[in-house]
Structure 1
Amino acid sequence: MIYTVTFNPSLDYIIQVDNFTVGAINKTYFEKILPGGKGINVSIVLSNLGHESIALGFMAGFTGNEIENRLKDYGCGTDFIQISEGLSRINVKMKANEETEINGQGPLISKDELETLYAKLDQIKAEDLLVISGSIPSSLPDNMYELIMQRLSNKKVKIIVDATRNLMKKVLPYHPFLIKPNNYELGEIFDVELKTRESVIPYARKLQEMGAVNVLVSMAGEGAVLIDENGKVYQRQAPKGQVINSVGAGDSMVAGFIAGYLESNGDYEKAFLKGIAAGSASAFSENLASKEEVNELLKNA
């Protein structure tokens, strides 16, 4: 089974206005509400590609109920922990002459509620896949990623991590099955600027030397680079297409990689190609990648 963890899920309220004016009434001409969060995005794309997953995390109030209902509409399995007080956050993403985001705080999570999450994670079996990604709420320990990986270290769970540089660096000693920085995040870790696929390779190898099993680096229009557990390098330019919405493209790449890995019985090249196709399909669409869109891009891979 595949599990995803989203510590601070959201309802993303996406709006567009012609010209945003501070202090005035601004009317929208486009509105959409989507369930948000990196792990949630991975679960949605996995479902679109025909793979079951169980989304874990914390939910609160009517916004939490709506997030869960919308996930079920996508065919995703859920096992969220209901927080007794507060509301799951609403993130406003406004597109005008510039793009503006206002992100909510989310509910406070108690020690007992965190222990409930640990109990659910303890049920994960050997060879299951676990995706942990996204930000950590201020009410949780800032080393949540490490605590989870340490807790599961003897269970042979394949853990995929997609996080900012400090969170990612700290989990490397626990040998995550896959990490997925983008080229900017990879550059931040080593204080360098990485613009080409070739320049990424030596620094991705360094992350592998520090403990990662497989390293997948996303590079937007430049494509991606994968260094697999055997040291083999795969690199590919992104498919051609018009970028409509880059939100969730990296999460879609993770989902595509997992789907390709499972469907090919561990063939890293096929996993890599499906990851690129899924990431690009999401970027070329207003919604997250569909199976048809991914397969269409794979035809020319």
Structure 2
Amino acid sequence: MIYTLTLNPSIDYIVDVDNLTLGLVNRTKTDLKFPGGKGINVSTVLANLGTENIALGYLGGFTGKFIEDTLKIRNIKTDFIKVKEDSRINVKIKSNKETEINGEGPSISKEELDSLMKKLGELKDGDILVLAGSIQKSLPSDLYLKIQEKVVTKGVKVVVDTSGKALLEAIKLKPFLIKPNNHEIEEVFDVKINSEDELIEYGKKLVSLGAQNVIISMAKDGAILISKDGIYKGNAPKGEVKNSVGAGDSLVGGFLSKFNETGDIKESFKYGIASGSASAFSMELCKKEEVLNLLNIINIKKL
């Protein structure tokens, strides 16, 4: 089974406003409300592609109920821990300039953290766990590392989508997959990368440090997969980018969907690129038909 963990889910409230003017009443042209959070995005893409999964994390209040009800409508299984405070709302304003206002999220008690760790302790050999997104201030900053330590001994494959020091710490426990972009790799190694060859060299360092598979996303320039089996590059399909939010999560979801089906890393990489691109070309997260339509124009070559 594939599990996703979103510690701090949100309602993403996206509003379109002509010429936002501070200090005055502004009226929206359109508005949309989505369940938000990187792990939830991965769960949504997996479900859209027909792959069963279970979404884990914390939810609270009327906002948490909206998130869970929407996921159930999408046929996503959930096993959230309920907390007293409301789940957060993130406001994304599309106007002459794009503006985001992100909520902080609920405080998590020691008892609620213990409940999560107990639940994760029930995962078993062959399961996949996706750790993605922000960690609330009320939780330990090294929580992802503690979770890895708990589940890797059970044979659980862990996907970690984080950055900075947390990424370096996570690598020590040999995660199945990490997905940094070039800027995050620069941050990890405190360098400026000036070429694709340099990017690959630092990606190889991440593998030597413990990561089993490293996918480096390069937006319109495609993506690179580095593993013990070799280095592969895939092109990004051309199209109108309508919404880049969730494209990286879609890449992870597409990769895991195909890997869960075939166990083939190269084919999973191709499916991941198609999924990420399909989401970028849509206002919502990718649907299976959109992904299939892009597969034939993605070429994976070994470097």
Compute the TM-score of the two structures, normalised by the length of structure 1: 0.97
Are the aligned partners of 1:197 and 1:224 in contact in 2 as well (CA < 8 Å)? no
Partner SS for 1:126: coil
Partner SS for 1:139: coil
Q: Which residue of 2 aligns with 1:251?
A: 249
Partner SS for 1:91: strand
Q: Which residue of 2 aligns with 1:125?
A: 124
Are the aligned partners of 1:54 and 1:76 in contact in 2 as well (CA < 8 Å)? yes
Are the aligned partners of 1:17 and 1:26 in contact in 2 as well (CA < 8 Å)? yes
Q: Which residue of 2 aligns with 1:234?
A: 232
Partner SS for 1:117: helix
Are the aligned partners of 1:197 and 1:222 in contact in 2 as well (CA < 8 Å)? no
Partner SS for 1:43: helix
Residue segments in structure 1 that go unaligned for 5+ positions in a row: none
Q: Which residue of 2 aligns with 1:111?
A: 110
State percent identity of aligned pairs. Answer: 52
* Aligned-pair CA distance for 1:263: 2.2
Are the aligned partners of 2:81 and 2:112 in contact in 1 as well (CA < 8 Å)? yes
CA distance in 2, matches of 1:229, 1:149: 21
Task: Deviation per CA, 1:189-230: give whole Å up to 9, x if none.
Answer: 122333654332110010111111111111111110001232
CA distance in 2, matches of 1:194, 1:234: 19
CA distance in 2, matches of 1:78, 1:136: 19
Which stretch shifts more, 195-204 or 114-123? 195-204
CA distance in 1, matches of 2:105, 2:154: 31
Please tell me the residue identity of whatever aligns with 2:286.
A
Task: Deviation per CA, 1:85-122: give whole Å up to 9, x if none.
Answer: 21000000001011100011111100000111011101
1:102-251 equivalences under 5 Å are 102-194=101-193, 196-230=195-229, 232-251=230-249
Q: Which residue of 2 aligns with 1:80?
A: 80
Compute the TM-score of the two structures, normalised by the length of structure 2: 0.96
Are the aligned partners of 1:182 and 1:217 in contact in 2 as well (CA < 8 Å)? yes
Are the aligned partners of 2:163 and 2:188 in contact in 1 as well (CA < 8 Å)? no
Candidates 256, 261, 264, aligned match of 1:263: 261
Task: Deviation per CA, 1:223-254: give whole Å up to 9, x if none.
Answer: 10001232x00101211011000000000000
Q: Which residue of 1 aligns with 2:63?
A: 63
RMSD across aligned C-alpha pairs, in angstroms? 1.0
1:24-35 equivalences under 5 Å are 24-35=24-35
Please tell me the residue identity of whatever aligns with 2:295.
L
Q: Which residue of 1 aligns with 2:301?
A: none
Which stretch shifts more, 150-159 or 281-290? 150-159
Residue segments in structure 2 that go unaligned for 5+ positions in a row: 299-303
Please tell me the residue identity of whatever aligns with 1:257.
F
Task: Deviation per CA, 1:25-76: give whole Å up to 9, x if none.
Answer: 1110010000000000000000000001100000010100100011111111
Q: Which residue of 1 aligns with 2:38?
A: 38
Task: Deviation per CA, 1:137-176: give whole Å up to 9, x if none.
Answer: 0000000011001111311100000012221111111110
CA distance in 2, matches of 1:248, 1:153: 27
Please tell me the residue identity of whatever aligns with 1:65.
K
Are the aligned partners of 1:277 and 1:297 in contact in 2 as well (CA < 8 Å)? yes
Aligned residues: 298
CA distance in 2, matches of 1:134, 1:216: 17
